[in-house]
Each structure stands twice: as C-alpha cells, then as structure tokens.
Structure 1
Amino acid sequence: MIRRTVGFLLFEGVNSQDVAGPLEAFHSVSSVATSPYDFAFIGESREPVCSESGLPLVATHTLQDIPPLDMLVVPGGAGARSAHNLQVLCPWLQHVAPVTKRVVSVCTGAFLLAHAGLLKGLTVTTHWQYADQLAQEFPDLQVQAQRLFVDHGHIATSAGITAGIDLTLALIEQELGADTAAAVARHLVVHFRRAGDQAQFSAPLAFQQRADQRFASLTGYVLENLGRSLGVADLADYCGMSERSFYRQFTRSMGQTPARYVAELRLDYARQLLVSRQWSLDRIAQACGYDSPDVFRRAFMRSFSVSPAEYRHRFAGQDITRGHNVPAVN
C-alpha cells in the first residue's frame, strides 16, 4: 500500500479541535482497515505552542525539515489571523503548496490560505461567524458562508470545527472508498456524507438565533405541525397577534415572509428525512405538509436544483441504503 503523509500545521493560538478532528478521522482508518496514513506535526520550532484553549501542542517537524507531504491541513483559531503567524507562515505556504497534492483548511485556517494567495478567485467557506470578514478582506473570493466544505481538488476549505471532519471523511472516501469512509464515520459516531452543500447549522437553529421574544417559540410550534397548512392565520393565532400585525412584525424581525419561513423549515425537514429514512417520496411529502408529491418535487427542485430522489442518491449514507440506522451526530 502506498503511504500518504498528512501534515498538520501548528502555531500559537491554533484551535486544537481543528487539528484533532481531522487527525482522529484519518487515524480512525486504522481501526477499520489497513491505513495508509502517516502524520507530521509542523511548527515554527519544536517548542510547544499553546492552543486557544490552553492545550499545549508539540511539533515533530519544523518549517525547514518537513517530509514530503501528500496533504497539508491548515487549522484555524485566533492565531490564524495574527500578524506574526501571517508573516512567518504565508511565505512557507506559498513554497509548500505547489509541491503538496492537497492543501486543506479548517475553519478560519482559510485566512492563512487567503493571505498566502492560495485562494485567489476560488469559491471558499469558513466558519459562518467570520465569513463576512473573509469576504471583505478578500473581495476576489466567493465566500459561501452556509457551506460545510468546498473541495477544488488541490485546495479545499471547510467551515467551523466539526466541518473539518466532514471534509476529512469526503477525502477518505475519495482515496479509500465509500465502505472505509462509512466505517470511519460509524467509529466516530458521526454522519457519513453530511453533504458539503448542507448548511453549517440547520434552518431551525438559524431562525431561533434571529427570533426575538415575540417569535421565540414559533419555530418549535411549526416543527411540531409541519403536516398542517400553517398559513399566516395559524401563525398569527399562535403568537396572539392579528394577521396584519403578525405579518408586518415577523417580516421586519426575521427578514423574510412567513410563507418563506415555513417553506424553508419544510424543506430542511425533507432533507433530513431523505437521508435518514427509507420512506417513499409520497410519505415524505405528506410528513412535510405538501399537498402532493409533485408539489414537493417542484419546491425541492427550485431550492436545491436537484430532485429529492437525486438528493437522496447523492447524500444518503451507506448505512441508510442497507437499511440500518444512521449514526448520531455529536
């Protein structure tokens, strides 16, 4: 078996989970199959660096004595945006990237790659909280804040912390096959193929983060009643408001109409059912409150540019296709 060396860049102020998540995913291959992966931990020196949380990390190689790398993982953390690290690491990245098969960033590690000029003109992602900052600092980038990861082959970027595991599983699948990647996901007790085009956080969570006190419990009510029509009258009645007042205040507070809000919750739930249940499309349509399977298919196509059947084919994990339960998400 051809060995593959994965390097992990360490620096003062690194996020330790950005390192540990992908590392444990690659390492877990050895628990389910013969692993080709060797690891190198690369720092400015071999002195311990302190992660954001205070965990000390020690490099096995310096910037000057790295082995040939098949992949380089660039984690995030406050240190990925510090002036010292940018000054030291960007020239090194510019030198190393062309001779490395893959360069992968996790979370705000995208800032290091961007400052090094490695992301010019690309579609990228990063932690949703820093996506606007990345877009402002680098206007030539197409920053997609909702994506879990974006893989261009030689360069890949992933979102906040656990999205690094999603990307790592996708890379394991590309290199070692779906069976191995699915087995690693089971070992880690995470989803296999939590697709890269899925949101960093769910629609219900996004709505609840935006909701003020007037609408704080509305999302829970909608989720419990998705099988119903849920028009403005239903929502206004639940909130104890007139329809006109509800529509005006909801639209101003949430930044979208009640109809669009309900539609996004229906479609978010539909995506979950497509990859976690073997239900027919008719049953999913009914559970999500659509009048007919055709109405459901058209709504799904408009939002995701792919049919429900194709979405299930692309993103359902191996366990689903064999009739087993999907591992829970940590």
Structure 2
Amino acid sequence: MRRRVVVVIFDGFQLLDLAGPVDVFETASLFAQEGGYRVEVAAVRVGAVAAHGGIAIDAAIALREVEGPVDTLLVLGGLKIPDCVDDRELVEQIARLAHVSRRVASVCTGAFLLAEAGLLNGRRATTHWMAAADLGHRYPATTVDANPIYIRDGEVWTSAGVTAGIDLTLALVAEDHGHALARKVARGLVVYLHRPGGQDQFSTPMRAGTPRTEPLRELQAFIDANPADDLSVPALARRAGMSERHFSRIFTNQTGVSPGRYVERSRADAARRLLESTGHPLDRIASLSGLGTPETLYRVFRRHWRISPGDYRRRFQTQEN
C-alpha cells in the first residue's frame, strides 16, 4: 500500500516548496522495496494554479472533494500568504482535512495557514526566518522558533524556508521507512540527510530595534561601523554622555537588547561579512571584528549559528575569494 500524500497549493505558492518534497516522496517510492507514496495535488478549485513566477501546476482535485483517510497533509508556502489566510474556504478545508490525516505538515510560510486553521495552537512551530516574527505576532498561541530547519510537535510538522521542505520530507520518509532509505534518497538527490546548523546561518544580520532618540541611533551606527573599538559599557556610556546605569537601562529599553548583547551581535555580523568577503585567517577576522581571539570567534559562531567559522566560510564565501 502506498501512503497517500495530499499537497495543498494556491495562487502564488512557492514552486520549490512543491518540487522538493514531491521529488523526495517519488524518489523514496522508487527506492522502497514495498509501499512508497502516492502524491495528489489539490487546491480550492480544480485546474491550473499559478506559482509565484507564473508557472502553472494542475490541481487534479478540489480540496472539498478530498475524503479521508489521508496519510500526510502537506501545506505549502508562498509570498501571498497574507492574502491566503483570508481565503476562508482554503483555511476551512485545511482544518477539515487535518482531522482525517494521520499527520499534517507545512513548508515555509505554509505554517501561517496551519495556524489560521487552529492547528498550531499550543504547539511549537517554525517557518521562514523572515516571517517568524510575524507568525508569532499574529498567532500568540503558537510558540515560534525561527532557527530549526524543521520541528515536530506531536503529529504536526513545520519546516523553515523553501528548501527546508526537502529536509522535512526526508524526516517523514525516515519515520515511515527508516533512516537507511531516507539516507539513500538524500544521496540520490545530492542533499544532506541532516543539514548541519540551523536556519540562522542563512539569515540577514541579527538586528535589534532602532532606538527612538537620535543620540542612541548615532551610537548604534558607531558600534556597527567600529567593531574593533572599545565598546564596553563604560566607553559607550561616556560617548552617550550618560551614567553607565542610565545608559544600560535606556539602551535596553529602546533596542530590546542589552548593550553587551548588541555589541556581541554586531561583532558577530562583522565577522560573518569578513568570512564571506575576504580570505583573512581567523585570527585576523577575530581582531578586525572586535572578537579578539579565534577561540572567542568560534564560541560566538557556535552560539549564534551552531556552526564553526570555518564551516560558515566554506558554505558562503564568494567564489572570487
């Protein structure tokens, strides 16, 4: 018996959110000695559904016509998710089908549709790092963690941005057929079975809030532009013309992080840019970024991105360097 997978698409869905998981399921079916998967693509209406970028995919069945049982209900993401959560029929059909599905999963911003359908209430979930704050704000009953590549909470699975749908689907295959088959599928598709590190390694610099007052905005810009300077609380308080206690309180209140935490983030981002754009050795990177030593550089990278500076450079350094 093949496991039935129903994939939910909508106008503006992310094409890679569909292609990645479907290729994993189909490759697993090819390699499996028995069973495998039968993938059905469904939408609110039967017919062509345009992905972001205009490529049309045929939805062979309308969601209202899908009857259980379903093994896996997989909801995709896309840039038009804010519009999609207002599509009552789409959300109601996802909620209905969740009750006849053994498990429910989302790729990227598909988590918004699961949350709108009430499926993430009281659960931990993830989504694309750029959308994580918005998901948490819109759906406070959901505990949002922006770093993991995927999260399982009971029989509800959510994944991070775009290609993380491949990681998620490999985990589903491993649950169904064992890690040996999942590993074979990963090798066949030339991807990691367990991707090292989390989603944070792909995100833009870790920004705190922008201060409301001009002196602190200028000080924030100074910190970012001069990571190797003395950025201790006493030095920053003198530059701001405040007592250390008052400065720490005001800075934390206006940015959401303490001065020390902000300085570490700023220096970590400076180090990351240097790793991407230069061939400097790690001791030079540590010095220029204000982190001091390669040991501190390593600890900061492990703390923020769960990978080493060397691994980060190998993945993200531009070709010409």
| TM-aligned CA deviation for residue 189 of structure 1 | 1.1
Per-residue CA shift, 1:104-140, capped at 9, x if unaligned? 0111111111111111011111111111111111111
* Residues 3-152 of structure 1: pairs in structure 2 closer than 5 A: 3-34=2-33, 36-67=36-67, 68-82=69-83, 86-152=87-153
Match of 1:140, SS state, is coil
* Shift, 1:245, TM fit: 8.8
Q: Give the superposition deviation at 1:244.
A: 5.2
Per the alignment, residue 156 of structure 2 pairs with 155
CA shift, 1:36, in A, is: 1.3
TM-fit CA distance, 1:15: 1.2
Count of residue pairs brought into register by the alignment: 252
Contact 1:147 1:199 in 2 (8 A): yes
- Cα 1:255–1:41 change in 2 (3 A) is same
RMSD: 3.9
Which secondary structure state, in structure 2, belongs to the residue aligned with residue 53 of structure 1?
coil
TM-score, length basis structure 1: 0.64
Q: Secondary structure at the match of 2:53?
A: coil
Deviation at 1:64, TM superposition (A): 2.7
CA distance in 2, matches of 1:10, 1:254: 45
Gaps of 5+ in 1: 219-234, 237-241, 270-287, 309-330
Contact 2:146 2:200 in 1 (8 A): no
| Partner amino acid, structure 1, of 2:36 | P
Correspondence for 1:190: 191
Preserved contact between residue 150 and residue 160 of structure 2 (Cα < 8 Å) = yes
* Deviation (angstroms), 1:32: 3.1
Corresponding residue for 2:174? 173
What is the Cα deviation at residue 176 of structure 1? 0.8
Q: TM-score normalised to the size of structure 2? A: 0.66
Report the Cα offset of residue 78 of structure 1. 3.1
1:43-86 per-residue CA deviation (whole Å, 9 max, x = no partner) reads 12222111111110111111232253100110011343315763
**What secondary structure is seen at the aligned counterpart in 2 of 1:128?**
coil
1: CA distance between counterparts of 2:85 and 2:137?
Answer: 21
Give, in whole Å, the separation in 1 of the partners of 2:231 and 2:182.
51
Q: Distance in 2 between matches of 1:77 and 1:200?
A: 18
The separation in 1 between residues aligned to 2:170 and 2:135, in whole angstroms, is 25
Q: % of aligned pairs identical?
A: 33
SS of alignment partner, residue 169 of structure 2: helix
Cα distance in 1 for residues equivalent to 2:58 and 2:295? 55
Q: Distance in 2 between matches of 1:84 and 1:48?
A: 20
Matched-pair contact (CA < 8 Å) for 1:5–1:71:
yes
Q: Which consecutive unaligned segments of at least 5 residues does structure 2 have?
A: 209-219, 240-250, 276-292, 308-321
